[in-house]
Amino acid sequence: MLESLMQPNLVFVFSSRSFPGDVVGMSDVQIPLVEVSNLRFRWLRKGTDILSIENLTVQKGERLFVKGNSGSGKTTLLNIIAGIITPQNGSVKILDETISSMSSWKRDGFRAQHIGIVFQIFNLIPYLSLVDNVILPCHFSAPRRKRALERSSTLIEEASRLLEHLGLDINNLADQPVSRLSVGQQQRVAVARALMGGPELVIADEPTSALDANARSAFLKLLFREVEDSNASLIFVSHDASLEPYFERSIHLDKINHTGPRAT
């Protein structure tokens, strides 16, 4: 039996695991960075749901691994969390803001300010240099620009710092267009761009699929270091179950998606 008595800024909790009169401050109650509730999504208006998720939360600073077979809806879920698409039912909250009920242009603005995304296809601008690609988020978000300049004296310096921390030789690669880079190098540029300006949430969709085992391990260590330095949350999606031990928490999409595996 659990009873609670609310007063301004205080919660008195009585339960079998607490002593009468124990006090918990409201500031100690942690609001999830991401909260998905009663989500249902289908591609066709009268079609079958491909996602039906009752609840999914991600805490601030948490590294979450989402595993599932190809075609199970992992990419669709990430696109919903990022506000790229919206569900027919349910809600998605990020930083206690209901992004799923925002208009399209508000979602775009929210995503630019608070979310960094590493896509399966990296979506780099082919004619721009490494540094110019990484700086792009700061042209669309004043808060991310401000946070970047709090860490380095210029945007170029901060972009170079991220690229170097992710193992790229800036001195030799700085002036090259990204189209001339290897897949592994392009991947690291995409991650640096997602991290630029310290977004609160980083979403990575199968970012290691083109890497061998040794390269995957090294890449994950670099990614975790940068995410931890910025105190960001990470949602990392992959069908590669061998990556699961690297993460603090993991979920299998088929276990929380009550429709079962569907095509994305």
Q: In whole angstroms, what is the distance from residue 258 CA to residue 179 CA?
A: 41
> What tens digit of pLDDT does each residue of 159-202 get?
999 999 888 888 888 888 888 888 888 888 999 999 999 999 99
219-225 LR contacts (CB < 8 Å, sep 24+): 219/184, 219/187, 219/188, 220/246, 222/165, 222/166, 222/167, 222/188, 223/166, 223/191, 224/63, 225/165
Amino acid at 142: A
pLDDT band per the 50, 70, 90 thresholds, residue 11: very low
Percent of the chain surpassing pLDDT 90: 55
pLDDT band per the 50, 70, 90 thresholds, residue 14: very low
Residue 263: per-residue pLDDT: 43
**Domain range list for the chain:** 1-30, 60-86+104-256
**Nearest of 201, 190, 264 to residue 232 by alpha carbon:** 201
pLDDT band per the 50, 70, 90 thresholds, residue 29: low
- Mean pLDDT for the chain overall: 85
> What tens digit of pLDDT does each residue of 64-96 get?
999 988 888 999 999 999 999 999 999 999 999
Tokens linked to 163:
């690229």
**Nearest of 141, 150, 222 to residue 158 by alpha carbon:** 150
Question: Which sign, positive or negative, has the C-alpha torsion 171, 175, 180, 181?
Answer: positive
Architecture (CATH level 2) of domain 60-86+104-256: 3-Layer(aba) Sandwich (3.40)
| Whether pLDDT at 221 is above 80 | yes
Q: In whole angstroms, what is the distance from residue 103 CA to residue 96 CA?
A: 16
Is residue 58 within 8 A of residue 34, CB to CB? The reply is yes
> What tens digit of pLDDT does each residue of 110-164 get?
999 999 999 888 889 998 999 999 999 999 999 999 999 999 999 999 999 999 9
**Nearest of 96, 98, 97, 95 to residue 39 by alpha carbon:** 98
Is residue 189 within 8 A of residue 168, CB to CB? The reply is yes
End-to-end CA distance of the chain: 43
